[in-house]
Structure 1
Amino acid sequence: MKFSIIGLFCVVFFCSWEREAQKKTASHSVSLNNLSEFNPTTSNWKLARAVRFSPSTDENSFEPGKGIVLNLPAKPDTGHLFTKMHHGDIEVEFDFTIAKKSNSGVYFQGRYEVQIYDSWGVKTPAFYDCGGIYQRWDKNRTSKNGFEGKAPAQNASKAPGEWQHFKIVFRAPRFDKNGEKTENARFVKVLLNGVVIHENVEVTGPTRSAAFEDERPLGPLMFQGDHGPVAIRHIRYTLL
């Protein structure tokens, strides 16, 4: 009888733990019916139901609505888009489309950038091409101010105006009880349009133009808004 009670307790405890673990790792789709899941935005961020970027000219158009968040920067409104959600380890997926020669990026914890760029036709991609992990920057370095950065393993970009897809697994930096960093941030895997372009890439600190210069266990997801037109849809994340 004692064994049965203990066994039953263990089963109940395990099931409760499993349910809690499933809650913590449940995938979440960011609603783009409004911008309520983001911090207050500048006017360059708009909601749309359709977006059209020309693959050959600077022409673009959109239909107001919902389901897509669109960045059309115009000074002085060139602010970034920050989620209210703050994350540590995370898996993120989203679709994006960009205008010809446009430039944006997604920053994990507002600090570590994977580049969004019109790299259509580039034969040998660099760190600043689409899917590249952007370089770090130190104006006080005696040699080159820019350092590190990682080019995608291959160019998997589509033409401007076409919808593309990112899937990114990010591991946050680790800290001890005194707040000292014990492990660097790491991009575990980055896929662009279904092609693996990075695996296990360490990032020793915030990349250039990060929103924050420090490093912490948690931070928001950030989409860059000060460079060029970009549209994003179907944002989904899983906190790992």
Structure 2
Amino acid sequence: MKIRQTLLVLTALAALATSGWAAEPSVISPKLDADLSAWSFKNSKEKSQWAVGFAKLDATNEAKLAFSDSGEGAAGLVNKTGGGVDIYTNEKFGDCTISLELMVPKGSNSGIYVLGEYEVQILDSFGKAKVGPGDLGGLYGASAPLKNAAKKPGEWQTIEIVFTAPKFEGDKKIANAKFVKVTLNGEVIHENVEMKGPTPSGVTGKEAATGPLMFQGDHGAVALRNIQITPAK
């Protein structure tokens, strides 16, 4: 009898696992291989400046990144120079938490597009007395950070984004997308900010219940590492 009960319990647990239910949400780290097979490009891949490797501030020009195939710590996704193309994950997400580290050279500009459509700005905003929606951590065109938490160019910075996707009944949107909380370098810079629509220059320009994670590559150089997406339960 005990053997039979054990088998039944194991069968039930296996069924739960295959159905997608889990006690804790799983963390997804998009694969970073040399050919970026887990990623797609918004425009021509031939124009891409993205590579997997290691970056630091250029010793001779603080407005540039120095890129290497080897280095200390975790390899990351690096847009080596500006003027390239945007890159986004093949996998799509809905409600989720996104965490990563970022680093920019002096004066650089990029962006994190949640679901491929809602931009959290990346910018060298170090030392600014007043910040707006276009500064580091700003929700572009929607909301300025509550404070300037930006570090110096060339320093690694941490950001965590807790996000809920827009909700639909058929083709009708019944709830806006929302940035529940955005934390930059340990400082809360947004709470409960609804997005009435998508940010310009997203993957499709249209809202949907799921979408990829996109990084802007057609502006300036940027380095990103320890990218993690945790879908909500």
User: In structure 1, what is the Cα distance between the partners aligned to 2:61 and 2:126?
Assistant: 11
1:133 aligns with 2:139: yes
Superposition pairs of residues 54-73 of structure 1, within 5 angstroms: 57-65=62-70, 67-73=75-81
- What residue in structure 2 maps to residue 36 of structure 1? 37
**Percent of residue pairs identical:** 39
Deviation above 3 Å: which 4+ runs of structure 1?
A: 8-20, 53-57
User: In structure 2, what is the Cα distance between the partners aligned to 1:33 and 1:23?
Assistant: 30
Q: Which 5+ residue runs of structure 1 have no aligned equivalent? A: 136-148
For residues 91-134 of structure 1, the C-alpha deviation after alignment (integer angstroms, 9 at most, x for no partner) is: 11110100101000000111100001100001111110100001
1:97 aligns with 2:103: yes
Shift of the alpha carbon at 1:49? 2.8
Q: Which 5+ residue runs of structure 2 have no aligned equivalent? A: none
Classify the secondary structure of the residue corresponding to 2:90.
strand
Letter in 2 for 1:150: S
Superposition pairs of residues 131-210 of structure 1, within 5 angstroms: 131-135=137-141, 149-176=142-169, 178-210=170-202
Given that 2:54 and 2:78 are in contact with CA atoms closer than 8 Å, whether structure 1 keeps it comes out as: no
Shift of the alpha carbon at 1:10? 9.7
Given that 1:24 and 1:239 are in contact with CA atoms closer than 8 Å, whether structure 2 keeps it comes out as: no
User: Structure 1's 213 and 59: CA in aligned 2 closer, same or farther, altered over 3 A?
Assistant: closer
Classify the secondary structure of the residue corresponding to 1:28.
coil
Shift of the alpha carbon at 1:79? 0.8
TM-score by length of 1: 0.81
User: In structure 2, what is the Cα distance between the partners aligned to 1:174 and 1:218?
Assistant: 10
What is the number of residues matched between the two proteins?
A: 218
- What residue in structure 2 maps to residue 236 of structure 1? 228
For residues 188-225 of structure 1, the C-alpha deviation after alignment (integer angstroms, 9 at most, x for no partner) is: 11000111111110000011322322111111110000
Shift of the alpha carbon at 1:68? 1.4
- What residue in structure 1 maps to residue 203 of structure 2? 211
- CA RMSD between the two structures: 2.6
Letter in 2 for 1:72: K
1:108 aligns with 2:100: no
Letter in 2 for 1:36: S
